[in-house]
Amino acid sequence: MLSLGGVLLAVGLKALFEHFSASDAARIDTRRVAIESAEGNRADWIPEGWSAWLAARLAAHGPVSSLDREARGVLTAEIEASPFVRSVISERVLWPDGFALEVELRQPVASLRTRDGRFRIVAADGTVLPGLWPTPPEYADGVLPVVGPNDGALYDLRPGDVLAEERHLDALSVAVSLGAHLSGEESRCLGPVLIDAELARASSVAEPGTRLFLEDRRLVFFGRAPREARPGELPEAHKWAHLRRAIDVLGEGADWDLLDVRWDRGRIRYRDWAG
């Protein structure tokens, strides 16, 4: 839940806003914002900075009477325009000093490298969300993959901007697929993943298409991105199954530097430590 002067924003698919004021009994203090879960505690996945980000924008409207429908509408519009709010579902007044909004939140599925080497997060629809991290942030017990190829095209994006290039949207669809098919533990075993879908649509027998760059100079050939898969392309679930088996190999003490998951039988190249 997000608390705005007591605004509660219940997280999950929906959220609840509740506003409270410490002064005038019928006025909402728009400067007070905190995000909590539907159970009343802060949801782990929601960045703490989102509260301050929204508070700074709502504070510009000053205290608002909970009786003023038009003023509440202005706050509602400001909240709905926040990058991390997908939609406002309903509103109700909380007498005497607040109102509640049921909303749907965007959740992060990937990260983006910035010009100064920090990382932003991005939702499945390509919306850049507020916040900056020194390393690719963790989410759902795993590390958010990075949308590549880190050629500078995404360095200057700001919260609310939306990814537009096909290569970035293709990479984003791979990130969404990764989150759907790998567990948090498997994601942690992989470590940070850079997804380069520059050549995803050129994938062929000779061209590996999408490339996943992993820790310790490991490379995965992934083929076409899920959003652009064509007849004959190996289903994405099979590709991730190949990668899970390769993760098991690492756990067994062996190591590899190249994995091709495009075929019915994954092709793995083991490191030659003797060489």
Q: 218 and 119 share a domain?
A: yes
Number of independent structural domains in the chain: 2
Per-residue pLDDT, averaged over 241-270, amounts to: 94
- Asked which of 52, 85, 105 is the last residue of a domain, the reply is 105
Residues in CB range of 21: below 8 A, 6 or more apart = 5, 6, 27, 28, 29, 63, 97, 98
Q: 133 and 101 share a domain?
A: no
Q: 218 and 197 share a domain?
A: yes
- The pTM of the full predicted model, rounded to 2 decimals, is 0.84
CA–CA dist 258, 114 (Å, integer): 28
CATH number (domain holding residue 141): 3.40.50
Mean pLDDT of the chain: 83
75-96 burial: b if 16+ Cβ within 10 Å, else e? bbebbeebbbbbebeebeebee
Q: 71 and 152 share a domain?
A: no
Encoded tokens for 3: 């608390």
Question: Tens of pLDDT along 188-198?
Answer: 888 899 999 99
- Asked which of 73, 105, 137 is the last residue of a domain, the reply is 105
Element (H, E) at 236: helix 236-251
Q: 76 and 169 share a domain?
A: no
- Percent of the chain past pLDDT 90, that is, above it, reads 51
Q: Which residues pair with 147 in a beta bridge?
A: 195
CB 66 within 8 A of CB 94: yes
The pLDDT value recorded for residue 236 is: 95
Question: Tens of pLDDT along 140-190?
Answer: 778 999 999 999 999 999 999 999 999 999 999 999 999 999 998 899 888
Q: 73 and 193 share a domain?
A: no
Q: 139 and 247 share a domain?
A: yes
Encoded tokens for 107: 């959740």
- For the CA atoms of the chain, what is the radius of gyration? 22
Long-range pairs, 136-140, Cβ under 8 A, ≥24: 136/111, 136/192, 137/47, 137/108, 137/111, 139/45, 139/107, 139/108, 139/109, 140/45, 140/179, 140/184
Q: 114 and 203 share a domain?
A: yes
CA–CA dist 199, 204 (Å, integer): 10
- Determine the structural domain holding residue 171 and report its residue range: 108-270
- Asked which of 105, 134, 158 is the last residue of a domain, the reply is 105
User: Which candidate, 62, 77, 8, 65, places its Cα nearest to that of 31?
Assistant: 62
74, part of any domain: yes
234 vs 27, more confident: 234
Q: 98 and 116 share a domain?
A: no
Q: 92 and 113 share a domain?
A: no
